[in-house]
Amino acid sequence: MISSSSDNVTKLNSINRRMFITSSLKFFIMVGIVSRLFFLQVKENKKYLTLSDKNRIREWKLAPVRGEFRDYFGNVIAGNFEAYQLHVIPEQVEDFRYVIYRLKDLLELSDRQFNKILKKKKENKPWETLIVSDNLSWEKFSKINNHLYDLNGVKPVISISRNYPYKEDFTHVIGYVSQANEVDIENTSIIKKNFVPGLKVGKIGLEKTFEEKLIGSNDIERYEVNAYGRRISQLEFQKGERGKTLKLTIDTKVQQLANELLKDQAGSICVMDIYTGSIIAMHSSPSFDPNLFVFGISQDEWQMIRNNPMKPLLNKTLQGNYSPGSTIKPIVALSALENGIINPNFTVRCTGKTEMYDQTYHCWKKEGHGYMNLRNAMKQSCDTYFYEIARKLGVDKLSETAKKFGLGKKVFGNLFEIEKDGLIPNTQWKKNALGKGWLLGETMITGIGQGYIQTTPIQLCLMTAQIANGGYKIYPNLVINENNSKKLDKFIPLYKNSKNIRIIQDAMFSSTNEVMGTSYRSRIDNIKYQFAGKTGTAQVKKITEKDRELDLKTFQIPYEERDHALYVAFGPYKQPRYALSILVEHGGNGSTTAAPMAKKLFKLVIDRHELRQSIKNKRYMDI
Amino acid sequence: MYQHSRLNKNNLDILQKVKNFDYILLICILLLGFISLATMYSTDGGQILFHTKSHFIKLAVFTVMMIFFSFINIKYWFSIGYLSYLGIAILLICTYFFGISSSGSKRWIDLYFINLQPSELMKIFIILCLAKYFHRMKLQNVNSIYTILTSLIIILLPMGLVIVQPDLGTSILIAISGIAVLWFAGVNYKYFIYTLLGFVISLPFIIAFLKPYQKLRVLSFLNPDRDPLGAGYQIIQSKIAVGSGGVFGKGFLKGTQSYLEFLPEKHTDFIFTLFSEEFGFIGSAVLLLIYAIIIYRIVVIGANSRSYFAKIFCYSFGASIFVYITINMSMVLGLLPIVGSPLPIMSYGGSSMLATMTGFGIVMSSRVHNQQSIA
């Protein structure tokens, strides 16, 4: 009993000792855990809170609302419209197969479209929105709405998209938008920044040039998502900024008339304010409907546009390099006067052809014009006269004057990336480009706007405008308030003697308003509308002796071999305000094809002048 | 002495037994039960769904059971020490042969009215068995080779049966419960030191024998960022949840990590993470305090028990509970590799709760019958 009880005591001592050790250990471990908790929850709280938010919050960007284009009078020429779309979220659909086949029937989808949708569905997550149709007609949209009871999980959605109400009228000015591709995203940082699937960006024209201003910024939706990426609730909606609305100098009415005049023909019309350089109209024909591109053009329609022999994709106003033909003559005459080569009374006898340097140079009038002074030569567009003064002037002096008046270089600078320079040749150029010496004969044909010389219609318009305004430099512009760089040399005189400009203006007046003038038949006698101009007929192919003998009428020549018809003019003559250039590809003859268009244009432009001015005054009053 | 023997003779009536209850312990257990219920409600996304209902039923049934167990005289618990151990060992063997397979392991046995995880019960009954074994042993006999070997067999048998399930985590916890008894029974320090040294030395070899997924867990523990969406995912998300809770927590039912399903195993092993996210550092500290009080009360009950058996049981059970809590929390706080170990009472799981509540019942019984000596 004693031994047992002493054993009990030692046992109790042992267990209590060990209990003490254990308790101390427990205490330290407990402190360890609490300090770990303190470390995670108090000290590192910020870090883990951020991580937790990163876990749970996901952002969705929505397509920004693109800025509009408006014409001078505020009409929307590239706007936004509500596109009717059908969205399906596959996981919310009980029987996806049934719904999709039902939709196929209702929307009359082709097998190709249908397979495309199925493919897209496979690529998406089941809770991601599947766009079944991005631009439904109202009929189909309402049809779907009527069948919604049968289409569980199908959501009719109204989304905002680009719309060009004037269809082909403005295509070559503002261009079009279409889905951004990899190249767009790669090359333009603002597209990269605002990119969302389905984003439409400018592909050509001003839509592309002003992408940064037009694009706006995304609406941002912040959602709480779970571990599988499913949206649980919306936390925030951050409204994006709408893209900037750009106002153009163009008058839609004039632009529409230009389109109408060039209907079924290939060509270009531009109209310009000779003092401000504002473009009133700028059209290249044939054009195409930019709306086709917004949701992706179909292969058939694309082939139609691409294979059209009149080349609708080409912006002829800016990209078309044409021989100016006789429309260059005012510059040739001006250059000769300015350089003191001739005076207005300088006379040449035209016999219909000139033999020189073993070549025969023909005047357009076989029987010849007889004795011609400067005014008459311009009026009747006598080629022989201009061969002679060009020969005396030399190509280098001619090119200097031509370049001064805006020929041979881009009119809009960087505004359009497609714009071409044209070509004003001189001896140096030929040596550099072709490695050959300049021939005197080449100077002579340059004098009537043939040979190497090439200009774009917009350059001819600028040239005419600068003659019309008395010889002062202007900078054409299309977009109001977007000409950031103030040009210092604006309105500097381009002439040596202003009298010479008056002489040229008067000669052009005679060409339109006096008997025997080449565009006499297109004149307007009313002083309010009276204009002065110069016709041009640019040869497309060299005229052989055989052709001369045949002397075919325009309609008898195959289309591709017909001459281009050109016309440049300004008006009203007494108080010039507007200049224009017209080009009709293979139009045959400047005086019969191009000049009559000018008559209609001037009538409308001058009629609308006061309206235009009133808008301008109002603009100032608003400020 | 006489007084004691006189009291011994007297069987306590119900009223006295109720008076003898450790109310602090009881309140703490009930409080813990309430907290666990609220947390379970949160894991169900703020609705009373399956887990909450099931947890509530288990909690209610097992609490009643615990109170019932408290009234059973400690000497009866003593008497069933070996038998219960054997019974559960047999259940483990049955589990090996007839167990329910789920996700590659057989841990459950179908007892017709209930699915049971016998390994969880073993955590308690191994203590009961070993406590009985050492109860009458003289201190000088404790360190005899025979005793040590016998007790090692008692520990290794269920360990082996659980390892083959396979369930490494539980088998380690069973071993720890057994070792705790050996420690309090007075097994020489040197054995513990040698075992520890041996364990450390053989650690590389043990790792070599681990299953690939277990190796992955060790590697992810060492560097969770090596595979943040794979093996490291649980521990990273768990740390984010706890860390983002801050001082005051995100608020009840507002734990985004768990609500948005970033947390793995949020009902069971990672329940503390959810609690900690919603109630913050203060909530976690309070929870730890409740656990600390429970363990403290268990130790105090042991210290005040007249019988050596009750003493050794309470101490060992207290130490085991402490180890369970420590391992679970260290695991979710990124201090230990992930081993499947539930947080007592808080985690969802019937067998674990049954075992823990049985343990509490026996402790309470020692308290109620603290003057009972066992011959």
Which tens digits make up the pLDDT trace of B271-293?
Answer: 999 999 999 999 999 999 999 99
pLDDT at B367: 92
Q: Which of A435, A453, A433 is nearest to A443 (CA)?
A: A453
Q: Does A187 touch chain B (CB under 8 A)?
A: no
Q: Of A171-175, A478-482, B41-45, which range is least confident?
A: A478-482
Task: Check whether residue A243 and residue A258 sit in a common domain.
Answer: no
The residues, any chain, with a CB within 8 Å of residue B216's CB and separated by 6 or more, are B231
Partner residue opposite A36 with nearest CB, options B241, B312, B333: B333
DSSP A280: E
Average confidence (pLDDT) over A223-235: 78
Partner residue opposite B333 with nearest CB, options A12, A30, A37: A37
Distance from CA of A156 to the nearest CA of B (A): 30
Distance from CA of B56 to the nearest CA of A (A): 27
B315, A19: Cβ pair inside 8 Å? yes
pLDDT at A622: 47
Residues in A 116-175 with any Cβ partner in B closer than 8 A: none
Would you say residue B230 has pLDDT above 70? no
What is the ipTM metric for this complex? 0.91
Distance from CA of B109 to the nearest CA of A (A): 33
Query: What does the mean pLDDT of chain A come to?
Result: 87
pLDDT > 90: percent of chain B: 55
Task: Check whether residue A589 and residue A496 sit in a common domain.
Answer: yes
pLDDT (tens digit per residue) in A41-90: 999 999 998 888 888 888 777 788 899 999 998 899 999 888 888 888 78
CB B51 within 8 A of CB B40: yes
Task: Check whether residue A268 and residue A133 sit in a common domain.
Answer: no
Cα A452 to Cα A450: distance, rounded to the nearest angstrom: 7
Name chain A contacts of B319, Cβ cutoff 8 Å: 22, 26
B256, A22: Cβ pair inside 8 Å? no
B375 — pLDDT class (breaks 50, 70, 90): low
A623 — pLDDT class (breaks 50, 70, 90): very low
- Domain assignment of residue A31, yes or no: no
Q: How far is CA A469 from the centre of its chain?
A: 27
CA distances from A328 to A24, A405, B140 (A): 107, 11, 127
- Domain assignment of residue A308, yes or no: no
Give the pair of three-digit tokens for residue A14. Answer: 């042992």
B280, A41: Cβ pair inside 8 Å? yes
To test the contact with chain B by mutation, choose from A7, A11, A27, A41 the residue with the greatest count of B C-beta atoms within 10 A, namely A41
Partner residue opposite A45 with nearest CB, options B246, B303, B322: B246
CB A410 within 8 A of CB A462: no
B261, A14: Cβ pair inside 8 Å? no
B288, A38: Cβ pair inside 8 Å? no
Residue type, B302: G
A30, B276: Cβ pair inside 8 Å? no
Number of domains chain A is built from: 2
Q: Which residue of B has its CA nearest to A230?
A: B260
B243, A44: Cβ pair inside 8 Å? yes
**Beta pairing class for A246-247 and A69-70:** parallel
Would you say residue B309 has pLDDT above 90? yes
Task: Check whether residue A440 and residue A394 sit in a common domain.
Answer: yes
Sign of the alpha-carbon torsion through A352, A355, A356, A361: positive
To test the contact with chain B by mutation, choose from A40, A49, A226, A235 the residue with the greatest count of B C-beta atoms within 10 A, namely A40
Q: Does A235 touch chain B (CB under 8 A)?
A: no
Under DSSP, is residue B347 helix (H, G, I), strand (E, B) or coil? coil
Query: When comparing pLDDT for B157 and A560, which is higher?
Result: B157
* Backbone phi, psi, residue A582, to 5°: -130, 135
Q: Which of A142, A144, A205 is nearest to A173 (CA)?
A: A205
Task: Looking at chain B, list the stretches that DSSP marks H as alpha helix, in order from N- to C-terminal side.
Answer: 2-9, 14-20, 23-43, 50-71, 74-79, 81-98, 118-135, 139-142, 145-163, 168-185, 189-209, 212-222, 233-245, 256-259, 271-304, 308-332, 350-368
DSSP A238: E
DSSP A322: B
Partner residue opposite B240 with nearest CB, options A18, A51, A228: A51
Average confidence (pLDDT) over A166-178: 90
Q: Of A438-452, A471-485, B24-38, B119-133, which range is least confident?
A: A471-485
The residues, any chain, with a CB within 8 Å of residue A528's CB and separated by 6 or more, are A572, A606
Q: Which residue of A has its CA nearest to B311?
A: A15
Name chain B contacts of A8, Cβ cutoff 8 Å: 308
Give the pair of three-digit tokens for residue B284. Answer: 């976690």
Query: Can you give the CATH number for the domain in which A421 is found?
Result: 3.40.710.10
Q: Any idea how long chain A is?
A: 623
Average confidence (pLDDT) over A321-336: 93
Task: Check whether residue A513 and residue A417 sit in a common domain.
Answer: yes
To test the contact with chain B by mutation, choose from A52, A56, A230 the residue with the greatest count of B C-beta atoms within 10 A, namely A52
- Omega prior to A572 cis, within 30 of 0: yes
Q: What is the 3-state secondary structure (H, E, C) of A286-318?
A: CCCCCHHHHCCCCHHHHHHHHHCCCCCCCCHHH
B139, A228: Cβ pair inside 8 Å? no
B242, A41: Cβ pair inside 8 Å? yes
pLDDT at B310: 93
Q: Which of A192, A226, A247 represents a domain boundary (last residue)?
A: A247
CA distances from A393 to A2, A179, A340, A387, A396 (A): 146, 54, 9, 10, 8
CA distances from A425 to A164, A422, A447 (A): 40, 10, 11
Work out the number of other CB atoms within 10 angstroms of the CB of residue B12. Answer: 17
**Beta pairing class for A564-571 and A578-584:** antiparallel
CB B247 within 8 A of CB B212: no
pLDDT at B267: 85
Distance from CA of A1 to the nearest CA of B (A): 13
Name chain A contacts of B262, Cβ cutoff 8 Å: 55-56, 226-227
Give the pair of three-digit tokens for residue B187. Answer: 């097994």
Q: Does A227 touch chain B (CB under 8 A)?
A: yes
* Backbone phi, psi, residue B227, to 5°: -150, 75
B166 — pLDDT class (breaks 50, 70, 90): confident
Buried b (16+ CB within 10 A) or exposed e, A248-267: bbbbbbbbbbbbebbeebbb
Residues of B with CB under 8 A from a CB of A: 138-139, 183-186, 237, 239-247, 256-257, 259-262, 276, 280-281, 284-285, 288, 292, 295, 299, 302-303, 308, 311-312, 315, 319, 322, 326, 329-330, 333, 335
pLDDT at A485: 54
In degrees, rounded to 5, the angle at the alpha carbon of residue A434 between the alpha carbons of residues A429 and A437 is 70
Task: Check whether residue A552 and residue A498 sit in a common domain.
Answer: yes
DSSP A215: S
A49, B308: Cβ pair inside 8 Å? no
Distance from CA of B202 to the nearest CA of A (A): 24
A182 — pLDDT class (breaks 50, 70, 90): confident
Cα A426 to Cα B212: distance, rounded to the nearest angstrom: 83
B246, A232: Cβ pair inside 8 Å? no
A52, B256: Cβ pair inside 8 Å? yes
Would you say residue A15 has pLDDT above 80? yes
- Omega prior to A286 cis, within 30 of 0: yes
Would you say residue B1 has pLDDT above 50? no
B285, A37: Cβ pair inside 8 Å? yes
Q: How far is CA A352 from the centre of its chain?
A: 44
Angle between helix B23-43 and B50-71 (nearest 10)? 170
The residues, any chain, with a CB within 8 Å of residue B252's CB and separated by 6 or more, are B38, B42, B278, B279
Residues in A 487-526 with any Cβ partner in B closer than 8 A: none
Would you say residue B9 has pLDDT above 50? no
Under DSSP, is residue B257 helix (H, G, I), strand (E, B) or coil? helix
Average confidence (pLDDT) over A388-408: 92
To test the contact with chain B by mutation, choose from A3, A11, A25, A38 the residue with the greatest count of B C-beta atoms within 10 A, namely A11
Q: Look at the block and give the residue holding tokens 């969205």.
A: A87
pLDDT at B226: 66
Task: Check whether residue A415 and residue A431 sit in a common domain.
Answer: yes
Average confidence (pLDDT) over A266-275: 93
Give the pair of three-digit tokens for residue B61. Answer: 């049934």
Torsion of CA A163, A169, A171, A176, to 10 degrees: 0
Would you say residue A308 has pLDDT above 50? yes
- Burial environment of residue B290 by CB neighbours within 10 A (0 to 12, 13 to 18, 19 or more): middle
Q: Does A17 touch chain B (CB under 8 A)?
A: no
pLDDT (tens digit per residue) in B335-353: 888 877 899 999 998 899 9
CA distances from A259 to A166, A270, A537, A582, B370 (A): 11, 11, 21, 12, 109
Q: Which residue of A has its CA nearest to B240?
A: A48
Query: When comparing pLDDT for B152 and A193, which is higher?
Result: B152
Q: Does A9 touch chain B (CB under 8 A)?
A: no
A40, B243: Cβ pair inside 8 Å? yes
Q: How far is CA A556 from the centre of its chain?
A: 37
Partner residue opposite B260 with nearest CB, options A18, A49, A224: A224
pLDDT (tens digit per residue) in B235-273: 888 899 999 999 999 889 888 887 777 877 888 889 999
Task: Answer yes or no: pTM beyond 0.90.
Answer: no
* Backbone phi, psi, residue B283, to 5°: -60, -45
Distance from CA of A29 to the nearest CA of B (A): 8
With residue A553 as reference, give the H or E element that holds it. none
Task: Check whether residue A330 and residue A234 sit in a common domain.
Answer: no
Q: Does A30 touch chain B (CB under 8 A)?
A: yes
Q: How many CB pairs under 8 A join A and B?
A: 121
Sign of the alpha-carbon torsion through A367, A373, A374, A376: negative
Distance from CA of A204 to the nearest CA of B (A): 45
Query: Can you give the CATH number for the domain in which A93 is found?
Result: 3.90.1310.10
Task: Check whether residue A233 and residue A268 sit in a common domain.
Answer: no
CB B348 within 8 A of CB B55: yes
Cα A90 to Cα A577: distance, rounded to the nearest angstrom: 62
Task: Check whether residue A428 and residue A459 sit in a common domain.
Answer: yes
Task: Check whether residue A260 and residue A207 sit in a common domain.
Answer: no
pLDDT at B373: 82
Average confidence (pLDDT) over A121-137: 78
CA distances from A313 to A170, A172, A309 (A): 13, 8, 10
pLDDT at B374: 79
Task: Check whether residue A191 and residue A274 sit in a common domain.
Answer: no
Name chain B contacts of A19, Cβ cutoff 8 Å: 184, 299, 302-303, 315
Name chain A contacts of B283, Cβ cutoff 8 Å: none
A45, B247: Cβ pair inside 8 Å? yes
Would you say residue A596 has pLDDT above 60? yes
DSSP per residue over A150-189, as a string?
G-TTEEEEEEEEEE-TTGGGGHHHH--EEE--HHHHHH-H
pLDDT at B3: 46
Q: Which residue of B has its CA nearest to A14?
A: B186
Full domain range(s) for residue A603? 252-287+315-479+486-622
Distance from CA of A220 to the nearest CA of B (A): 21
